[in-house]
Structure 1
């Protein structure tokens, strides 16, 4: 006796079978493997830029806030970096700004 699968269940199986060959970006994994096989080498992982020094990034942000010279810019810096030593300088500058 031959049984048939309902169309919806068959479609689900087809979709699930296809997921193992798809990456999130939409390029089939098999294409990437074929490219690697054709070139003779495996694809290289994308290189990541070096991480910035967090202290340098905070110092740059402080300089930008000072250049802007507004209450809003200094308050934003303090809100983002309240524990940084430069926040004390920002607080002092904020106190010197007119009302």
Structure 2
């Protein structure tokens, strides 16, 4: 078999595997077009817009939750981990107080 016919055969196989799910260069794939069509059919649809990203959590709320978790656990290791991760936070002072209380 000649190398040219082998490469042409491989190219043909790749084209066949790619299927008809792709649009010509510059077009949108079928799935995107269908998704946009589905969105535009909904009341107040947002076809063409990117989905919105949820707001980021308040970091202080996450730190407070972690402190509460350490407090519920009630072990030296939990408080030491909290202090290591959030040593500058005001709750770290409370965690240090809890550590002193546990040492007694």
| TM tier, smaller | 0.5 to 0.7
Give the unaligned 5+ runs of structure 2.
Answer: 23-27
State which drifts further: 33-42 or 87-96. 33-42
Is 2:100 aligned against 1:95?
yes
Q: Distance in 1 between matches of 2:11 and 2:89?
A: 59
CA deviations 1:15-65 (Å, max 9, x no partner) are 39745626xxxxx12321332455585436545544332212212221221
Q: Distance in 1 between matches of 2:38 and 2:70?
A: 49
Task: State the TM-score, normalized to the length of structure 2.
Answer: 0.57
Give the unaligned 5+ runs of structure 1.
Answer: 23-27
The partner residue of 1:60 within 57, 60, 65 is 65
Deviation at 1:67, TM superposition (A): 2.3
Q: Distance in 1 between matches of 2:103 and 2:12?
A: 73
Q: How many residue pairs were aligned?
A: 92
Aligned to 1:21: 29
Task: State the TM-score, normalized to the length of structure 1.
Answer: 0.59
Task: Give the 3 Å change call, closer, same or farther, for CA 73–16 of structure 1 in structure 2.
Answer: farther
Aligned to 2:34: 31
Q: Distance in 2 between matches of 1:37 and 1:60?
A: 41
Aligned to 2:25: none
Q: Distance in 1 between matches of 2:41 and 2:69?
A: 50
Q: Distance in 1 between matches of 2:19 and 2:90?
A: 55
